Structure 1
C-alpha cells in the first residue's frame, strides 16, 4: 500500500509546476475535462432517460379527469416539492456555507460545493436509475428521482468536508463520480436486498459519506511529506459567522431531509422526532462545549457542527415509534458524543493514525451515523404489529408473511420474507457493517486513483483560494485591510484642515 502511494505521489508531483505558463495550460486542460464530463452525462441522458408517467404529456392519464382515472393535477407536486426544495437548500446553501470557516477558502467552499453538487445530482440520477430501468431500458425521472439525487449528492459533500482544502476541484469531481457509483450500489443492496429501514439516510448517506471521505483523506496524508502544516488551516471571526449561516439553514431544514422519503403517519413522526432531537442536541452541545473546551468557553467548531448531530443520530429511526422522550434522549446523546469527538478523538486520529479530517465529518456524520444505525436496529428488534398495526409491513416489508396480500382496507400489503423482529434487527446491523466497510475500502481505492492521475495542490497553496480563483487585488496577499499607527499632532492638524476646508 505505502509503495503504491509513494509511486502515486511521484507521478503526481511530476505534473505539478510553479511555472505560470504551464499552470495556465494545466487549467485549460482541466476545463476541457469538465466540459467532457458534462457532455458524457448529456449523452447518457439522451439514451437512457425519459419523464415519469406523471410528467409525460403523452400519457392519457395526465389529460383525463380524475373521475375517469386521470391524475389529480398539482396535488402530488405541491406536497413533494416543498420538502424537495428544503433539501435542495440544504445541499447548495447549508453544506456550502458550513464549509466557509477556513480563512481563505470561502470561494472554494461555496464554489466547489456548487460545481460538485450540480454535476453529482445529474450523475446520481443515472446511477440510481440504473437499478430501476423500465421494460424499455429507460430511467423514468420524476420529482422523487430529483430529491433522491439531492440526498445522494449530500454523501459526496460530506466526503468533501473530510478533505476540504487539500484537493483540487478536479480531484473532488473524480472522487464524487466514483463515490456515487458505489453509494448507489450500496443503497440498492441495503434497501432492496437486505430490505432494511433507513428513512433519514443516516447509514447509507451520512456514515457512508464520512468513512469514504476519511479513507480518501488517509491516502492523501500518506503522500510525501506526510504531515502538512499550513497557517491558513484556521478560521477567522468573519469566516466563522458565514459558516454559522450554513449551520442554521441545515438545522432548520433537517426535519425535511429525514422525512422526505417517509409516508403518511411515518412522515409526521419523522418531522417531530427530528425536530426534538435537534433541539435537545443544540442545548446539550452548548453545555458540553463549555465543559470540555479550554477556559470553559463556547467553541465555534462545536456550535457549527455538533448542534446538527442530533439530526443524523435520529435519522434511521426518524419515522419509527421512538416516542418524544426517545428523540430528546437521542439528540442529547448525539451532542455529547459529537463534542467529545471534536475535543478528544479528532486530534488523536490525526496524531496517531494520520487520518486528517478538515471539517470533522467523523464527529458530525460518522459516529452519529453509526449511532443511528444501532438505534435503528434496536427499534427494529422491538417493532411489532401491536405498536405499528399494519404499517409495520410498510416500514419493514420483509416482516410480512410470504402469503400476505393486499386487502380493501390495507391496499399497501404485499408478500414478504416472513422475518422475525430479531432477524430484521440483525439485517439492520449487517447493513451498517457492510456500509462502513464498503465505504472505507472504496474510499481507499478512490484515493489511490485520485492521487495517481491528478496532482495535489502544492503545499504552500493548500487551503488557499488563490490556486483556483481570481481574487480581488487586495486579497491576493494575506495582509490586513487596515493598518493602524499612532496619530501624531501634525497628522491630526492635516486631517482637520482637509476635513473642514471648502
Structure 2
C-alpha cells in the first residue's frame, strides 16, 4: 500500500498531458482586443491568496488549505480555459486572450467555493475528481446563464457563487456523515488563535480586491465605475453590520465571533454581484450590504449547526458567505430587471441587458429569465453535486476515515 501511495496522483499527470495535447491542437493566441481588460491581476490575487489563506482557520489543516487551493486552482484554470471556450470556438479553434484568463480565474473560484464546503472532509483524490467534473458542469451552467438566458450577472453571484456553494452542499449531502467524537479526543475541526489570524489575511485580501472582481467584466467606463462604487459600499455596510450582529447573537453576549468577521464581512460583495453595474443608487447598495451582513451572520449562528445535525458538513460555511447571499443577489437581479427602462439606462441598456437592446425582450420578460437563470443554477448545482459526491465515495478515490479528517498528517511531510 505504501508503494502504491507514491502513485495516487499519477492519473492527474495523465490529465495534465491530455490538457497539453488539447492546447496544442485547438488553442491559439487571440488578438489584442482584450489586452487592456481590467481586474485580471486583482482577481488572480483573490484566487491564490484570498481563498487560500481564508481556509487556513483549521488548526491542523493549514498546509492542505493552501496547498490544495493552489493545486486545484492551477488545474481548473487550464481545464476551464477549454470548457468555457468550447462554446465560443471559431473554425474549431480556441483563441485565448487576457479576458479568457480572467474568466478562467473566475471559474476557478466556483471550485474553490465548493472546496470550502468539504474542507478537511474530502481526500485529495476526491477533491481533484470533484474539481474536474464541477468545472465542466459549471461552464455549461455559465453558458446557460449568460448566452441562453442572457441574464445580467456581471459579478457572478448566480453562476459562480450560488453554483459553487450548492454544488459543494450537494457533495456534502452525498458524503453525509455525522461527526463522531471519541471520548477524550481532540477536535481538529476548529481554529487556533494563530490559524484564525492567518485566515484573516485571506479575508482582508478578498475584501480589498472584491470591487475589481465584480467590475472586471463590465463594458463601459460608467458601468465599471458603478460596479466598483456599489461593491465597495455594500462591502463596507456588510462589514459594519456583521460586527454588530455578531456581538448580538454570539454565544458570549457582546463579544465578536471570528468566524463572522472572517466571512460575513465579505457577504456584501456576493450580494451586490448580480446588480453591481445597475442603476440601483448608492443608498440601495448600502441597504443590500446591511441585508447580506444580517443574513450571513444568522446563517453561521443558526443554520450551519442545524445542517451539521443532519450530517451535512459545511466546513467554511459557504452557504452563508456564497450560497444565500448569491440567491439574495439573484432575487435582487429579478427585481431590478423588472424595473429597467431605456429612460433610466439610456445607451447602456444593451450593455447590461443585451436581450433588451433591440426591444425583443421586455423588462418583465428579462426578469423571468433572471429567475430561470437562478432556478436552473440551483437545481443543476445541487443535483450534479450530489451525484458527483456519490461517485467520489467510491473506494477508487480513497475517502477519508473519520480519524483522518481535518489533519495535514495524511498528505504532508510535517516539520
TM-score, normalised by the number of residues in structure 1: 0.80
Instruction: Give yes or no for the alignment of 1:214 onto 2:169.
Output: yes
Deviation string for 1:150-209 (max 9, x for gaps)?
A: 000000000000000011111111101100100111111111111111010000000000
What's 1:424 paired with? Answer: 366
Instruction: Give yes or no for the alignment of 1:49 onto 2:5.
Output: no
CA distance in 2, matches of 1:280, 1:26: 52
Task: List structure 1 runs of 4+ shifted beyond 6 angstroms.
Answer: none
CA contact (8 A) 1:285 1:307 kept: yes
CA distance in 2, matches of 1:387, 1:107: 50
CA distance in 2, matches of 1:37, 1:246: 30
Instruction: Give yes or no for the alignment of 1:294 onto 2:237.
Output: no
Larger Rg: 1
Q: 1:228 to 1:121 in 2, by over 3 A?
A: farther
- Consecutive unaligned residues of structure 2, counting only runs of 5 or more, are none
CA distance in 2, matches of 1:318, 1:374: 13
What's 2:293 paired with? Answer: 335
* 1:451 pairs with one of 393, 404, 408: 393
Deviation at 1:391, TM superposition (A): 1.2
CA distance in 2, matches of 1:35, 1:320: 44
Supply the RMSD in Å over aligned alpha carbons.
Answer: 1.2
Equivalent residues, number: 408
What's 2:308 paired with? Answer: 350
Instruction: Give yes or no for the alignment of 1:38 onto 2:16.
Output: yes
What's 1:247 paired with? Answer: 203
What's 1:60 paired with? Answer: none
CA distance in 2, matches of 1:355, 1:466: 24
Deviation string for 1:31-60 (max 9, x for gaps)?
A: 312211211111111111111022xxxxxx
SS at match of 1:357: coil
Instruction: Give yes or no for the alignment of 1:257 onto 2:213.
Output: yes
CA contact (8 A) 2:250 2:301 kept: yes
CA distance in 1, matches of 2:340, 2:263: 32
CA contact (8 A) 1:207 1:435 kept: yes
Deviation at 1:400, TM superposition (A): 2.7
CA contact (8 A) 1:221 1:227 kept: no
Instruction: Give yes or no for the alignment of 1:131 onto 2:87.
Output: yes
CA distance in 1, matches of 2:227, 2:8: 43
CA distance in 1, matches of 2:5, 2:278: 50
Instruction: Give yes or no for the alignment of 1:149 onto 2:104.
Output: yes
CA distance in 1, matches of 2:146, 2:80: 16
- Consecutive unaligned residues of structure 1, counting only runs of 5 or more, are 1-21, 55-70, 402-415, 473-502
